[in-house]
Amino acid sequence: MRKVITYGTFDLLHYGHINLLRRAKSLGDYLIVALSTDDFNEIKGKKSYFSYEQRKLLLDAIVYVDEVIPERTWEQKKEDVINHDVHTFVIGDDWKGKFDFLSEFCEVVYLPRTEGISTTKVKTDLNKQ
């Protein structure tokens, strides 16, 4: 079984997130999503509208997602890849090059972002109304 892992906050879930999850799942048989915890988001300077548990509930309901695990630190990626026997690490291409160090342990794939949508854009558009 080919396992794929991706990481994110997945707040204000939108079709760009779904596209990423669909494409990530197509690279293997089993998709693990490491979801940023509320405490980790605070460390990153991010504020989510939905709590970790609410975001996890949303991700668990998506057909492409097989498992959701907590992301608590930047450093855990290597451990996750090894401990979950991951074959492919997937993330948006806005992070291109940032996680190349993982190629020692698995394939690293940077997927193009979906044009015209992001959580930042959703928040900006809502604030204009």
Instruction: Establish whether 44 is a catalytic residue.
Output: yes
From 44, 96, 98, 121, the catalytic residue: 44
DSSP 87: S
- Share the mean pLDDT of the chain: 94
User: Residues 90, 95, 101, CA angle at the centre, nearest 5°?
Assistant: 70
Q: How far apart are the first and last CA of the chain?
A: 47
78 is catalytic: no
- Tell me which of 25, 46, 77, 96 is the catalytic residue: 46
Q: Is pLDDT at 115 greater than 90 in this prediction? A: no
Helix (H, G, I), strand (E, B) or coil at 126: helix
Strand-pairing partners, residue 97, are none
Task: Fill in the DSSP letter of residue 116.
Answer: T
Contacts of 38 (CB under 8 A, 6+ apart): 48, 51, 52
Residue 36 tokens read as 């940023």
Range scoring the smallest mean pLDDT among 45-54, 90-99, 115-124: 115-124
**Which backbone phi and psi does 111 adopt, to 5 degrees?**
-90, 140
pLDDT score, position 87 = 98
Q: Tell me the pTM.
A: 0.92
* 116 confidence band (pLDDT: 50, 70, 90): confident
pLDDT for 49-80, tens place per residue?
999 999 999 999 999 999 999 999 999 999 99
Query: Measured between alpha carbons, how far is residue 4 from residues 42, 64, 102 in Å?
Result: 26, 11, 13
Mean pLDDT confidence for 79-89: 98
If pLDDT is split at 50, 70 and 90, which confidence band does 85 have? Answer: very high
Residue 122: pLDDT over 80: no
